[in-house]
Amino acid sequence: WSPRSWSVDAAIEGSVAGGFGAFSIGVHVSGLSVEGTLLARASAGLESIWLSFDEEPNVGLSVVSNVTWGVVPLPLKARIESLVLGELRNFLKNFMQRPKELEVKLLGRNKNKDKDSANGNGNGNGNGAYKRS
């Protein structure tokens, strides 16, 4: 899986108390790829599906970062890329690698959909939410 148009940008700017100067951190993450055997199972009524990887998947991504202290750039690109990649791998391992599974609730498949829709509570659009099981 490798979405072509997916990316995430984050920026933090601040200053240190005591007049030690301002700092800024900018991170752009793109080029995400996840390769592995994805297992899926579903509830009988398709209210939920559970996803997991049989083994640790291969993960790749591209990170562009810029860290400055005042006007001085700091050479932290490799450390930030390692941190972002490590956190993604930890998420997949802790939430999606067997025996753990990621549960995706299919909100549009609610058994009480007609009742909820009549009360203005149902969205019926098939959007999902997830939680770890």
pLDDT digits (tens, 9 = 90+) for 26-84: 999 998 899 999 999 999 888 999 999 999 999 988 899 999 888 888 888 889 989 99
Residue ranges in the chain assigned as alpha helix (H): 77-96, 113-118
Structure tokens at 82: 């390692």
Taking the whole predicted model, whether its pTM rises above 0.75 is answered as: no
Mean pLDDT of the chain: 81
With tokens 């509570």, the residue in question is 121
Across 88-106, average pLDDT = 92
